[in-house]
Amino acid sequence: MTSDQAGRIHRALDGFAIELPSWGFANTGTRFGKFVQPAAASTLEEKFSDAGQVHSLTGACPTLALHASWDLPGGAADGPATLALSRTFGVRPGSINPNLFEAQCYKFGSFGNPDETVRAAAHAHVAGCVAAARAVGSRDISLWFADGSNYPGTANIRQRRDWFVDGLRRSHALLSGDERLLVEYKPFEPAFYHTDIADWGMALLLARAAGPRARVLVDTGHHYQSQNIEQIVAWLLAEGMLGGFHFNDRRYADDDLTLGSIDPYQVFRIFHEIAHFEWETGKRADIAYMIDQSHNLKGKIEAMIQTVTTAMELFAKAAMVDHEKLAGHQTKCSLVEAESCLKDAFSSDVRPVIREWAISKGLPADPMDAFRQSGYLEKITADRGARNMSAITSYA
Ligand code: LRH
Ligand code: MN
């Protein structure tokens, strides 16, 4: 590790921030059940408190993504209380995620529902989220739609596409300042025949149709097995349409496992595409890095600390790539030399430099160990245990 490389890692980490999902601290499960954790967060205060722990230990996650119905049931009226929690726990409100999939009226869709009163209700929910975002100073409205169908012939796909263009234009028209709409795509689940926004191309065309403040959000778990995600990232960068990421990992489908637990090289390749774009263009890509995971078995806070430290390691490795040298090898089609630029960086142990960086910022060298020594988990288990363990429910 040369001092120049160490310096590049320090500068990269100084500019790195990854947003935590409030729902990652709560008791979540699968359709086959939910294993309740006594220490899990359920109130917004508890979610900010836990996020504050992770940020105070890693220095890399200053914002908390909020899900409208779960965290801001009162919409903009919840603004002042939310900002008070933000000040108390040292974490700012992040992206606002409308919930257009849980309410009974969304059985046949939200923006894509054939019933215009349901579409209007969905538009009104997003309008409420824009107002809530403004009330808490959030920039991004992060839209994911479960909309789709389960059987051939049951939906007019082109008609629904038109309704999505209309709905996204209405939502976009409500934005001001540097506010953005992030359009997230997903190939399937909960719909299993067609999903209205199923891939990056559909999300890009709809974001373009919505207006200049709309961008595409890439959830790493929302791709078919063999899709080249970093190629999609490269295209979205080239189109100026990459707005953000939901990072997680998966072996099969949208498994929402902890980042880097299955394929860390995947996240490295994504960070590399962005770092090389920024080197080539001299422009900083305006991207929101966010985590979207559900920790059904691991301790919620430990899983978050593991995720953030892994993201910092992979971001640091990507910062080590010698872009000048790589560009030369690419031009000369020196395949092995070019590939080695990435593999050498990926196989470097950046942890000692990250520890140095952390100490230089007054942060613990080992966040996980510091958390385990802190007694925080024991305290919240005592505070929340009885309530959480009395909330065990069954699926059917
Ligand atoms: C959908 C999704 C979406 C969230 C939800 C919690 O799979 O990725 O981003 O709203 O998970
Ligand atoms: Mn997501």
Ligand 1 atom showing the smallest separation from residue 99 Cα: 10
Do 291 and 21 touch, CB atoms closer than 8 A? yes
Of all protein residues, the one whose alpha carbon is nearest to atom 4 of ligand 1 is 144
**Residue 153 main-chain phi, psi, to 5 deg:** 85, -10
Ligand 1 atom showing the smallest separation from residue 21 Cα: 6
Q: Residue 147: CB within 6 Å of ligand 1?
A: no
Q: What is the pLDDT of residues 342-367, one digit of tens each?
A: 999 999 999 999 999 999 999 999 99
Q: Would residue 318 be called left, alpha or beta, if left means φ above 0 and alpha means ψ between -120 and 50 degrees?
A: alpha
Please list the alpha-helical segments (H only) found in the chain: 3-14, 44-58, 68-71, 79-89, 116-136, 157-172, 200-210, 229-238, 264-281, 300-319, 323-331, 335-346, 351-360, 367-374, 376-389
Q: What is the pLDDT of residues 35-94, one digit of tens each?
A: 999 999 999 999 999 999 999 999 999 999 999 999 999 999 999 999 999 999 999 999
pLDDT of the residue at 394: 61
Do 172 and 210 touch, CB atoms closer than 8 A? yes
pLDDT of the residue at 296: 92
How many CA atoms within 13 Å lie on the side-chain side of 122?
32
Do 329 and 343 touch, CB atoms closer than 8 A? no
pLDDT of the residue at 396: 56
Tokens of 89: 């726990």
Of all protein residues, the one whose alpha carbon is nearest to atom 2 of ligand 1 is 144
pLDDT-based confidence at residue 110 (cuts at 50, 70, 90) = very high
Ligand 2 centroid to residue 45 C-alpha, Å:
23
Ligand 1 atom showing the smallest separation from residue 97 Cα: 10
Average pLDDT (210-218) is: 98
Do 250 and 257 touch, CB atoms closer than 8 A? yes
pLDDT-based confidence at residue 4 (cuts at 50, 70, 90) = very high
Of all protein residues, the one whose alpha carbon is nearest to atom 1 of ligand 1 is 144
Do 273 and 285 touch, CB atoms closer than 8 A? no
Ligand 2 centroid to residue 246 C-alpha, Å:
5
Ligand 1 centroid to residue 147 C-alpha, Å:
12
Q: How far apart are the first and last CA of the chain?
A: 56
Q: Residue 25: CB within 6 Å of ligand 1?
A: no
Ligand 1 centroid to residue 16 C-alpha, Å:
23
DSSP 10-35: HHHHHT---BEEGGGGS---BTTB--
Ligand 1, from 69, 188, 216, 219: best to mutate by most atoms within 8 Å of Cβ? 219
pTM of the predicted model as reported, rounded to 2 decimal places: 0.97
Ligand 1 centroid to residue 292 C-alpha, Å:
7
Of all protein residues, the one whose alpha carbon is nearest to atom 3 of ligand 1 is 144
How many CA atoms within 13 Å lie on the side-chain side of 343?
6
Of all protein residues, the one whose alpha carbon is nearest to atom 6 of ligand 1 is 292
Q: What is the pLDDT of residues 220-267, one digit of tens each?
A: 999 999 999 999 999 999 999 999 999 999 999 999 999 999 999 999
Closest by CA to 76, choosing from 157, 133, 16, 145, is 133
